[in-house]
Each structure stands twice: as C-alpha cells, then as structure tokens.
C-alpha cells in the first residue's frame, strides 16, 4: 500500500475507518413533518399528527402559498440553521416548532438506545423537535438555533446529527449563475463534493480525498484530546466543580477550501468559457447532469434532496429527463419537490402528492383522498386534481372542445378560473359513486346530454336518478339547454347559419342546411349525410345509397367539425344565452367571481 505524504505527520488507526463508514451509511429515514408557528404555517397539518413524506413527495400550489417554507423547514432542522423573528408565523411572539418524524431501522435501534438511553424507547418511529421558545427574542436577539427534543427531553444537535440524513437543497434560483459559483455552502459545492468523495473511495487508494479527510479529522480529534486534558487541569485549579472540558470537532468542509472554475469549450469557437457565461438553460442543465452522476453512482443513499421548482429554465423534454433522474435518485435517497409543472405532478406518487393553499395568511393542506384507480377509471391525471381549481365533467371529447371555445369567448377571465373540462362518458358517469367522486376535487359539476328525442318526452328514469344521486352529494348535474328547453345533445346548440358559414363547401354543392337545427334533431346524422353526399360527388364510385344511419354518422367528425362550428358561432355571436347562464351558475357554485 502506497504511503501518503500525510502519514509523515499523522498516525492513522485503520480500525476506525470501517466504523466511521458504517455510521455514514446508517441514517434515520424521514417519513413525516409537523410545523407550528413557522413562517406561513400556524399549525400544520391541522387534522393529522403529521404530514407523511414518501420516497418521492410532490408539493403543488400557486406562488406564495408556502411550498418553499416547508422545504426550508426541513433544511433548517437537518442543518441546525438559525431561526429569526421573521421566521415566526405572522411575527407573533409564539413558540416555533419544527418536528420531523423518522423511521428507525433495526440496525440503528441498538445504537440509539445506547446513545439516548433515557430518551429513546426502542420504537420504530422517532419524533424529534427543533423548538424556539416564545421568549427567545424578548431580549432583542436577532436569531436562535433553538433546542432539539426527543420525547420532550432536550438533546444536543451534535448528538443526533450523525444519525440524520444529509441535505441537498436546490433553490428555485432566478439567477442560476450565483449557484454555480464555488464558495461556502453554495449549491455547486454541496453537489460536487459527494461525487468527488465517492469517486475517490472507489479508487481504494490511501491518499483518496475521503481517506485524507478522515485521517485529518482523526488527527485533529487526537490533538484536541490533549488540549482538553490541559484545559481541565488549568480550569479546575480555580473551579473545583469542573469535571470535564469537551471540544467537539465538526465534519470537515473541504469545499470551503476548494474553488475551481468550471469551463465549457465550444467546438465552433474553440474557446473555453466559464459555464456561468452560458445561458440559464445550460446552467440549470449542468445541475441536472450532476444529479445524473448521483443516480449512476448511487450516491443518493442517506440524502434528502429538496428541489424547488425543478422545471425552471428547462423545456418539456428536459423536464421529463430530470423527472426520471429524480425518480431513480429516490430509490437510494429521498426527493421532496415543489412544482407547478404537470410533468412532475403526473409522475409523482399520488399518496404523497399534496396541494397547498393559503387561507388568511396560513398555509393549509388539500390532498386527494381517493385511489389511483379512481383517476384511471375517470381518465384523469394527477395534474387535473392538483393544478386546477374546479372540474367540469362532460360526456365526450367533442363536448370538451366545444365548451372550451364557448367558455373562453363568454368569459374573458376563463383561463384565470383554472377549471378543467374532462370527458367522462355517459355510461361511465352512471356507475360512479358521487361520494367517491367528490374526493377528486371539492369543486365538481357534471354536464350531460339529455338524449331526449321527441317533443313532450321527459328525461329517462336513469337520467333523473343520476341527477338526484349526485345532487344529494352537492355535485350539480346539468343538461344542455337552448331557448329555455333541454336539448338532446351539445350539437343541438348549433345554428343553421354557423354550420353553413363554417363549411362553404355545402353551398358550393347546393346542399346547405335549409332548416334551423331543432332541439331533438339527430345532428350527427343530419350533418353526416351532407358530408357523405359531398364525398360521393367527389368519388362517383362511392355508393352511399345503402348506408345505415350509423355509417352516415361516421362522416361527421365530432371533434374536427364540431370545433369549426363552435368557432363560427363565436364569430357570429350565436352562442346560446343558456350556455352562459349554465357556466355562471357553475362559477358561483365554485365560489369564483364571474
């Protein structure tokens, strides 16, 4: 084994290395969080003992609802950061508490019992709190690290720190360049050093970075042992009650003495330029590249990765790649992200995806209490739940397209209302349990075809039963109306003028609609016959004389043709007032201004 230059002045006990490495690999697993009077959180969560955190946890919500505050609470706890008066909820003089919940492995239980004999009871779950008392700032103090407690008994942070997972915090920086500069506790330093140490360990050389770091730490500890004894001897001369003097040696932060400059060489200019001179997209992608190395080298074990808005500066393709990397990272470590991107929302674990909202300056929790099977059955994605403020279920895709065109034309702020229109199908809605459906989103409405075919006919018993069943659970059910009458389907809202104007080819072939569309007409059949006749005139070999009604309807494309007719109705100002009144009623039920 090759002798390192460090051996000339440091004696290294090789038996200490495996023990130290073992401690590094054995960490508590973060499984929950509870907050009291921290930033926007007064008491969180309100109705549960703690918020469950999984291997991949997704926090969703609008800007300034408190997503980042939750991530920063975890960081402040794990890294023993200062709490300032500004961190106390609404600036009140109150106790601030951050409690993290950890799962304890069987391997760690004996060590925790030995370390915390009078505190840890040997259970599978461990609650540790960081508390800043309400009188901490009464004497004008500007910050406090608070105190740590296990089962209401105070413990030193340094005593629990070896068991806590490490933190990688990637903020939603507006200036990525700042985070790519080396310095004390910068993102790039924290990201790069675990890779350097992992690589050096794999080389198994005595002078690896990790080995040198351990040797230096051991040398410092031995030297401080001698100093401790001398200090005790001198102090006890004056104060006989001095029993021991302790000098704790924190983990060495080599990154504080390591300031490389990362450069990228351009193959066209042949020049090397610092990456901080490149675009924000490349700079953000550089972080993605480092995380890919983490994934490949399985460095994530024992790490909690806190990532604010990972989608920033990345196009959709890069977002999907980063999402895949984070999912792989979560197999070794843990990932907690805040996001506005449907890419990350739809890829996260549904059971640990949470919607955060703000009410009266306090962050509150809204979570989906149903199962993934409900979404699959409804043809929905998690982003339909978490990234919308309301949901309107309609029967088919064409209903969604037409209604969206009408809604945007009728309400200038429709996009701001953030309402999802989702096709569910008439037969599918029939067997849905409204109580379960209401768990999807607190704001839900349903618009259905009446299927009434004749004047004087009424809704079928099944439709009436469906309406009653859902409205008993406060989910309103509507049917399309025109001129105050319930019509057969959404196509019966169309006007003769809009159809003829949308398709000039009808006039060219002298087959325009002559009569206004009635409330009970079979519109797909009527228009299908028109388009079939046009097709037959273009192709003399095509015989349409023996086509069935079903075959005629296939010539009418519900989405393509329906969209063109709806757009023409907007241009001609022919959207039925009944549609506007229906949507206004839905907005009122959802508590939205219209």
Mean pLDDT of 188-208: 59
Task: Tell me: pLDDT of 378 over 70.
Answer: yes
Nearest Cα to Cα of residue 564 among 504, 486, 507 = 504
Would you mind telling me the total number of residues written for the chain in this entry?
594
CA distance 327 to 331: 7
pLDDT at position 427 is 66
Q: State how far the alpha carbon of 252 is from the alpha carbons of 57, 81, 301, 504, in Å.
A: 31, 17, 20, 78
DSSP state of 75: H
Task: Tell me: pLDDT of 206 over 90.
Answer: no
Mean pLDDT of 577-581: 97
Lowest mean pLDDT among 74-88, 175-189, 317-331, 385-399: 175-189
Mean pLDDT of 242-255: 65
Each residue of 215-228: pLDDT tens digit? Answer: 777 777 777 676 66
Each residue of 533-549: pLDDT tens digit? Answer: 999 999 989 999 999 99
- Helix (H), strand (E) at residue 227: helix 209-238
Domain ranges (residues) in the chain: 25-180+298-367, 371-594
Rg (CA), the chain: 33
155 falls in which pLDDT band (50, 70, 90)? Answer: very high
Residue 36 CA to its chain's centroid (Å): 22
Long-range contacts of 499-502 (CB under 8 A, 24+ apart): 499/527, 499/565, 499/568, 501/568, 501/571, 501/572, 502/561, 502/564, 502/565, 502/567, 502/568
Mean pLDDT of 189-195: 67
| Angle (CA) 239 242 246, round 5° | 135
Q: Is this model's pTM higher than 0.85 or not?
A: no
Give first-to-last CA distance, the chain, whole Å: 78
297 falls in which pLDDT band (50, 70, 90)? Answer: confident
Mean pLDDT of 71-99: 93
| Secondary structure, 3-state, 156-195 | CHHHHHHHCCEEEEECCCCCHHHHCCCCCCCHHHHHHHHH
pLDDT at position 480 is 97
Each residue of 459-515: pLDDT tens digit? Answer: 999 899 989 999 998 999 999 999 999 999 999 999 999 999 999 999 999 999 999
Task: Tell me: pLDDT of 232 over 80.
Answer: no
Residue 557: count other Cβ atoms within 10 Å of its Cβ.
15
User: Which CATH architecture group holds 25-180+298-367?
Assistant: 3-Layer(aba) Sandwich (3.40)
pLDDT at position 471 is 93
CA distance 402 to 388: 19
What does the mean pLDDT of the chain come to? 84
Lowest mean pLDDT among 296-305, 344-353, 494-503, 532-541: 296-305
139 falls in which pLDDT band (50, 70, 90)? Answer: confident
Lowest mean pLDDT among 60-64, 307-311, 428-432: 428-432
CA distance 344 to 339: 7
Three-state DSSP at 350 gives: helix
Nearest Cα to Cα of residue 143 among 132, 128, 154, 152 = 132
Nearest Cα to Cα of residue 304 among 174, 202, 197, 194 = 194
202 falls in which pLDDT band (50, 70, 90)? Answer: low
Q: Dihedral, CA atoms, 12, 14, 18, 24, nearest 10 degrees?
A: 0
Mean pLDDT of 262-272: 78
């Amino acid at each position: 084994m090759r002798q390192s230059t460090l051996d000339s002045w440091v004696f290294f006990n090789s038996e200490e290395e495996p023990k130290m490495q073992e401690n590094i690999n054995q960490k508590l697993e973060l499984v929950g969080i509870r907050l009291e009077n921290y930033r926007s959180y007064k008491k969180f969560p309100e109705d549960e003992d703690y918020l469950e955190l999984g291997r991949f946890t997704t926090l969703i919500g609008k800007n300034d609802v408190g997503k980042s505050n939750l991530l920063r609470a975890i960081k402040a706890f794990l890294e023993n950061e200062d709490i300032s008066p500004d961190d106390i909820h609404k600036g009140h003089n109150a106790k601030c508490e951050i409690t993290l919940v950890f799962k304890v492995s069987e391997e760690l239980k004996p060590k925790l019992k030995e370390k915390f004999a009078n505190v840890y009871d040997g259970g599978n779950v461990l609650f540790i709190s960081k508390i800043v008392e309400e009188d901490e700032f009464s004497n004008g103090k500007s910050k406090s690290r608070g105190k740590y407690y296990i089962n209401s008994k105070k413990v030193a942070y340094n005593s629990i720190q070896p068991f806590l997972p490490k933190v990688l915090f990637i903020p939603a920086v507006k200036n990525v360049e700042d985070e790519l500069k080396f310095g004390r506790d910068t993102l790039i330093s924290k990201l790069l050093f675990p890779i350097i140490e992992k690589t050096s360990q794999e080389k198994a050389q005595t002078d690896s970075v990790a080995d040198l770091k351990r040797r230096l730490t051991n040398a410092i500890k031995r030297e401080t042992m001698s100093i401790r004894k001398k200090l005790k001897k001198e102090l006890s001369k004056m104060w006989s009650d001095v029993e021991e003097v302790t000098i704790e040696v924190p983990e060495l932060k080599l990154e504080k003495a390591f300031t490389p400059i990362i450069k990228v060489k351009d193959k066209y200019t042949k020049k090397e330029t610092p990456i901080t001179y490149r675009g924000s997209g490349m700079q953000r992608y550089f972080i993605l590249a480092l995380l890919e190395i983490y994934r490949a080298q399985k460095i994530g074990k024992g790490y909690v990765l806190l990532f604010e808005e990972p989608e920033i500066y990345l196009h959709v393709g890069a977002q999907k790649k980063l999402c895949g990397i984070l999912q792989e990272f979560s197999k070794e470590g843990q990932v907690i992200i805040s996001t506005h991107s449907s890419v990350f929302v739809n890829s996260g674990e549904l059971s640990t995806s949470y919607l955060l909202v703000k009410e009266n300056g306090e962050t509150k929790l809204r979570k989906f209490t149903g199962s993934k099977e409900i979404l699959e059955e409804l043809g929905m994605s998690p982003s339909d739940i978490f990234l919308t403020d309301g949901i309107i279920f309609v029967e088919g895709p064409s209903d969604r397209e037409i209604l969206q065109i009408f809604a945007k034309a009728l309400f200038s702020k429709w996009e701001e209302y953030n309402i999802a229109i989702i096709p569910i199908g008439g037969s599918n809605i029939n067997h849905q349990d409204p109580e379960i459906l209401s768990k999807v989103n607190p704001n839900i409405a349903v618009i259905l075809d009446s299927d009434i075919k004749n004047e004087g006919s009424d809704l079928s018993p099944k439709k009436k039963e469906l309406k009653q069943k859902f409205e008993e659970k406060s989910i309103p059910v509507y049917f399309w109306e025109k001129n105050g009458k319930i019509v057969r389907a959404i196509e019966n809202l169309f006007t003769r003028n809009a159809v003829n104007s949308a398709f000039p080819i009808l006039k060219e072939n002298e087959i325009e609609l002559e009569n206004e569309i009635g409330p009970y007409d079979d519109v797909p059949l009527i228009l299908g016959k028109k388009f079939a006749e046009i097709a037959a005139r273009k192709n003399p070999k095509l015989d349409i004389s023996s086509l069935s009604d079903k075959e005629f309807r296939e010539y009418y494309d519900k989405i393509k043709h329906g969209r063109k007719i709806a757009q023409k109705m907007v241009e001609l100002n022919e959207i039925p007032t009944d549609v506007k009144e229906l949507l206004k009623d839905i907005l009122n039920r959802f508590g939205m201004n219209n």
